Amino acid sequence: MIGKNVIESEPIPGVKVKEVIEEFSEDNELNYEQNVTLNHLARFKRYSVEDAEEIIEKLQDEFDLRPKVAVHIVDLVPEDLDDLRLIFAKEPKQVDKEEMEKILELLEQYDIIE
């Protein structure tokens, strides 16, 4: 990749990546990496694209989370406090138990696609 620079980097949820790869595969043949990514993303439960984007926005606005952390929460679909603690383990901003419970309540309002 000589001569190429990253201009912008933004975390996006896996469900959005899956949607983009599926749209691309309608007109093009996928390479090995794209096939592996698509197969990996198809194995996990997730939210719809619209729900994922809405959850990320609420996590950033209501809980003041970084975009990367909000995307991790949406991608990993934590089911309990222990799962959330793992996500926040290396974060500089510590989230208390009450906020984590509110995050779990927020996630429960949305349907999961299996």
Residue boundaries of the structural domains of the chain: 11-114
Q: From the CB of residue 34, how many other CB atoms can be counted at a distance below 10 Å?
A: 15
pLDDT on residue 37: 95
pTM for the model stands at 0.87
| pLDDT, tens only, 64-113 | 999 999 999 999 999 999 999 999 998 888 899 999 999 999 999 999 98
Distance CA 66, CA 18 (A): 22
Question: What residue type is assigned to position 54 of the chain?
Answer: E
Statement: 11-114 belongs to CATH 1.20.1250.20: no
| pLDDT, tens only, 11-38 | 999 999 999 999 999 999 999 999 999 9
Contact at 8 Å (CB) between 48 and 78?
Answer: no
Binning the chain into helix, strand and coil, the percentages to the nearest 5 are 60, 0, 35
Distance CA 110, CA 108 (A): 5
